[in-house]
């Protein structure tokens, strides 16, 4: 089969989207599973379809709310796709959309929901170390040294990148400032009403150098869902379809090496994924109107944007300014809902929802005439994934 | 190379142990003898870290272990200010470093940088290993961590 | 903390579906959720109506009377707490309410223990598909109860069936 036939380009669209109320960590009033149901039902309502039309599920990061339980609780007539993207963190957000889209194109299922539900008060937190008294295997090379949290796992990658390319702290700060600025327009955002200034950022405590408090994502409770269906069917539904131009997943050479031994260390792990994404989407970085880039930590966003070709590594200090990253008129409007830093840590599904809202023209920080809307999921984890949505198939 | 008994981080952090399949055992047995022992392929002589059951370079299953000089070069660092484990409350900030071993195919070791945690550090600085013995206790066997120290005048 | 056979019964505070089911049993009532939208009862307790997906529901007491739909006799104690109880019967009881609704395959079928008048496992020779049963309740403490069933003296609808011994 020729490569040009092996594509999902333009064949699938995001037809519905929704989220629950976003809460601070531990403050959800409903159980995690019930929030997943609420988001899925609301997304079906947004699309204008009956919930019972859903016949597939795709998620990532070992979501605890499995498709069979969801399909059973919702009384779905049949389940045609039960899919989990392997790998932790937010690396699978776009990957779950990719898997859902591929399943629709392959004819496995017709209406697939991509979802994520998190109630960290009810289960474990991500940002805390383990209480075990022994660390075995790969963990034995890091935990005894007080290297146990995600922030600590990524700080040395970012530090090395900053060393190699002369990146300044102000470049990381600009990412945080842009997220908070966009959150002030977004009533759903947990940090709505909490303005961030350069001064507040500079005076905030270090978590682990080079990450200040505001370089780190939040931890939140909530649930979100998007509904994918064929482009043909999406055109007949209630909302403007957000067509999937391309979705890609992967990991570079030996990025899973333990004890921080990935040969290419100072990387966000997008170097082989991004070129494949652009090739399948038929676009270049210059075509991207608005970008949602997963922020576990600001440094990863910066490396990811560099590796997606928006600037050279040594030009990061020029590109990464609040002016350039702000909607609606910045050079590269970034994380326009507030994202993981300031809207909600919905493990990046909120970024996919925001990318679709930009295509629909419904963002609270709308980029004028946004057509090509891109998402990068999970820098510095393994694997990572990407998504390009579009309003016009052109 | 220096032997020390006082530990850089407070007691209470997880003690290291090999996986139940024994993959990393030769390394931890080596640190007890104050030797830096790492994985190297018996067929193609490629160094490999962390350990795995196959050589990533030539796909041989015949992996060996070899002692390497306990010295390296500072590759990256982080200074930790937020305690994610209760035991760390008593030692903030602390330094975690990534050390590249030019004598062992540039594999990297994670460790703490002993000394003043607030002193300036320089990527590229020469460092040497410090073997830090721990008594264990309870169900924890005695173990030895490899720490690092900047070589003065480097 | 609630207990059963020496085992802790620990239900998260944010799981009202199961807490309220066991609280009903603590008051000696078998309660099920009735959907506020399509008006159907459901079992097991859960956040969404499997018939219409509504998240709105109310609790309602049911008769506790039903028929053994299927059963098993457990002879191997997987958990030491059950060592003194083997052999014991686990029963699937089809309640009298809402049989064959909303379609012929549906009914309210409750998993439970079959016990005798003293709360001990019912003798194996008395356990049979088709036998009529009624609910009784074990006290778990902490205001919670566990619904169990015992044989009633009602006439069965059809001939009883037992696994050939």
Q: Which of A30-34, A327-331, A344-348, A352-356 has the lowest mean pLDDT?
A: A30-34
Residue range B89-103: average pLDDT? 97
**pLDDT tens-digit profile of A110-131?**
999 999 999 977 777 777 777 7
By CB atoms closer than 10 A (0-12, 13-18, 19+), residue C165 is: exposed
Q: Does A185 touch chain C (CB under 8 A)?
A: no
For C102, the closest chain A residue by CA position comes to A75
Q: Percent of chain B, pLDDT > 90?
A: 92
- For the C2-151 domain, the top CATH level (class) is mainly beta
Interface of A with B in 205-244 (CB under 8 A): 205-210
Domain ranges of chain A: 3-123+216-390
Residue range B119-144: average pLDDT? 96
Known catalytic membership, residue A278:
no
Structural domain span for residue B89 = 2-150
- Residue B154: which pLDDT band, with cuts at 50, 70 and 90? low
Task: Say whether A31 and C14 touch across the interface (CB within 8 A).
Answer: yes
Question: What pLDDT shows up at residue A120?
Answer: 78
**pLDDT tens-digit profile of A220-231?**
999 999 999 999
Q: What is the mean pLDDT of chain A?
A: 96
Domain ranges of chain C: 2-151
Calculate how close chain A gets to C101, using CA atoms only, in Å.
14
For A141, the closest chain B residue by CA position comes to B110
Mutate to test the interface with A, among B36, B79, B96 (most CBs of A within 10 A): B96
Q: Does A71 touch chain C (CB under 8 A)?
A: no
SS3 string, chain A, reads CCHHHCCCCCCEEEEEEEECCCEECCCCCCCHHHHHHHHHHHHHHHHCCCHHHCCEEEEECCCCCCHHHHHHHCCCCCCCEEEEECCCCCCCHHHHHHHHHHHHHHCCCCEEEEEEEECCCCCCCCCCCCCCCEEEHHHHHCHHHCCCCHHHHHHHHHHHHHHHHCCCHHHHHHHHHHHHHHHCCCCCCCCCCCCCCHHHHHHCCEEECCEEHHHECCCEEEEEEEEEEEHHHHHCCCCCCEEEEEEEEECCCCCCCCCCCCCCCCCCCCCCHHHHHHHHHCCCHHHCCEEEECCCEHHHHHHHHHHCCCCCHHHHHHHCCHHHHCCCCCCCCECCCCHHHHCCCCCCHHHHHHHHHHHHCCCCCCCCCCCEEEEEECCCCCCEEEEEEECCCC
Known catalytic membership, residue A294:
yes
- Residue A3: which pLDDT band, with cuts at 50, 70 and 90? low
Q: For residue B76, which residues of chain A lie inside 8 Å, CB to CB?
A: 156-157, 159-160, 163, 265-266
Question: What pLDDT shows up at residue C144?
Answer: 97
For B124, the closest chain A residue by CA position comes to A163
- Residue B5: which pLDDT band, with cuts at 50, 70 and 90? very low
**pLDDT tens-digit profile of B53-62?**
999 999 999 9
Neighboring chains of A (3 or more beta-carbon pairs < 8 A) = B, C
d(CA A252, CA A264): 9
Q: Percent of chain A, pLDDT > 90?
A: 94
- Residue A1: which pLDDT band, with cuts at 50, 70 and 90? very low
**pLDDT tens-digit profile of A339-392?**
999 999 999 999 999 999 999 999 999 999 999 999 999 999 999 999 999 999
| CATH architecture for segment(s) A3-123+216-390 | 3-Layer(aba) Sandwich (3.40)
Task: Say whether A73 and C15 touch across the interface (CB within 8 A).
Answer: no
Q: Given a cut of 50, is residue B3 above it in pLDDT?
A: no
* pLDDT tens, per residue, chain C with 165 residues: 899 999 999 988 888 899 999 999 999 999 999 999 999 999 999 999 999 999 999 999 999 999 999 999 999 998 899 999 999 999 999 999 999 999 999 999 999 999 999 999 999 999 999 999 999 999 999 999 999 999 999 999 999 999 887
Q: For residue A207, which residues of chain B lie inside 8 Å, CB to CB?
A: 80-82
Cβ neighbours of B56 (radius 10 Å): 13
Structural domain count of chain B = 1
Mutate to test the interface with A, among B7, B53, B78, B90 (most CBs of A within 10 A): B78
Q: How far is CA A1 from the centre of its chain?
A: 32
Instruction: For residue A73, give the nearest of C14, C50, C52 by CB distance.
Output: C50
């Amino acid at each position: 089969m020729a490569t040009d036939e092996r594509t999902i380009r333009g064949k699938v669209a995001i037809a519905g989207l929704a989220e629950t109320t976003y809460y601070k960590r531990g403050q959800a009033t409903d159980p995690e599973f019930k929030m997943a149901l609420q988001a899925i039902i609301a997304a079906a309502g947004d699309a204008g379809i009956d919930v019972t039309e859903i016949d597939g599920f795709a998620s990532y990061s070992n979501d605890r709310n499995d498709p069979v339980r969801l399909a059973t609780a919702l009384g779905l007539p049949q389940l045609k796709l039960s899919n989990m993207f392997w790998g932790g963190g937010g690396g699978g957000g776009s990957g779950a959309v990719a898997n859902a889209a591929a399943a629709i194109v392959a004819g496995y299922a017709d209406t697939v929901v991509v979802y994520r539900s998190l109630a960290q008060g009810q289960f474990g937190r991500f940002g805390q170390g383990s209480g075990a008294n022994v660390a075995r295997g790969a963990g034995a090379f890091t935990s005894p040294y007080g290297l146990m949290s995600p922030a600590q796992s990524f700080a040395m990658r970012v530090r090395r990148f900053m060393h190699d390319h002369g990146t300044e702290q102000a470049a990381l700060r600009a990412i945080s400032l842009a997220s908070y600025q966009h959150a002030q327009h977004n009533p759903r955002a947990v940090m709505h009403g909490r303005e961030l200034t350069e001064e507040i950022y500079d005076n905030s405590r270090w978590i682990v150098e080079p990450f200040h408090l505001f370089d780190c994502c939040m931890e939140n409770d909530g649930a979100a869902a998007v509904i994918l269906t064929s482009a043909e069917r999406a055109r007949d539904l209630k909302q403007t379809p957000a067509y999937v131009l391309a979705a890609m997943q992967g990991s570079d050479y030996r990025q899973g090496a333990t004890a921080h031994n990935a040969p290419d260390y100072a990387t966000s792990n997008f170097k082989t994924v991004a070129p494949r994404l652009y090739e399948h989407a038929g676009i270049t970085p210059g075509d991207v109107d608005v970008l949602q880039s997963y922020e576990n930590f600001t440094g990863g966003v910066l490396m990811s944007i560099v590796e997606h070709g928006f600037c050279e590594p040594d030009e990061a200090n020029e590109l990464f300014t609040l002016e350039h990253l702000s909607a609606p008129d910045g050079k590269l409007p970034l994380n326009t809902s507030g994202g993981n830093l300031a809207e909600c840590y919905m493990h990046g599904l909120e970024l996919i929802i925001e990318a679709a809202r930009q295509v629909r023209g419904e963002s609270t920080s709308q980029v004028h005439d946004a057509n090509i809307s891109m998402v990068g999921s999970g820098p510095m984890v393994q694997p990572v994934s990407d998504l390009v949505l579009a309003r016009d198939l052109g | 190379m220096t032997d020390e008994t006082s530990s850089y981080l407070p007691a209470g952090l997880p003690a290291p142990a090999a996986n139940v399949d024994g993959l990393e055992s030769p390394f931890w047995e080596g640190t007890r003898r104050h030797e830096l022992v790492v994985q190297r392929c018996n067929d193609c002589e490629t160094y490999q870290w962390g350990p795995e059951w196959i050589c990533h370079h030539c796909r041989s299953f015949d992996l060996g272990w070899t002692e390497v000089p306990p010295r390296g070069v500072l590759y990256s660092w982080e200074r930790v200010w937020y305690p994610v484990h209760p035991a760390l409350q008593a030692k903030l900030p602390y330094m975690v470093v990534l050390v590249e071993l030019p004598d062992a195919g540039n594999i990297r070791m994670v460790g703490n940088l002993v000394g003043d945690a607030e002193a300036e550090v320089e990527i590229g600085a020469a460092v040497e290993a410090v073997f830090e013995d721990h008594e264990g206790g309870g169900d924890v066997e005695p173990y030895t961590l490899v720490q690092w120290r900047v070589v003065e005048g480097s | 903390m609630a207990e059963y056979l020496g085992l802790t019964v620990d239900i998260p505070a944010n799981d009202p579906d199961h807490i309220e089911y066991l609280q009903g049993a603590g008051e000696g009532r078998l309660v099920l959720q009735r959907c506020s939208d399509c008006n159907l009862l459901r079992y097991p307790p859960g956040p969404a109506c499997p018939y219409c997906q509504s998240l709105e529901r109310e609790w309602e007491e049911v008769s506790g009377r039903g028929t053994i739909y299927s059963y098993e006799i457990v002879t191997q104690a997987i958990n030491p707490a059950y060592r003194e109880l083997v052999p014991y019967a686990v029963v699937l009881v089809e309640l009298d309410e809402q049989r064959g609704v909303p379609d012929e395959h549906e009914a309210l079928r409750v998993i439970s223990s079959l016990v005798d008048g003293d709360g001990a496992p019912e003798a194996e020779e008395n356990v049979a598909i088709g036998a009529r049963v009624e609910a009784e309740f074990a006290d778990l403490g902490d205001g919670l109860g566990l619904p169990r069933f015992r044989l009633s003296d009602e006439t069965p609808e059809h001939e009883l069936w037992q696994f050939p011994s």
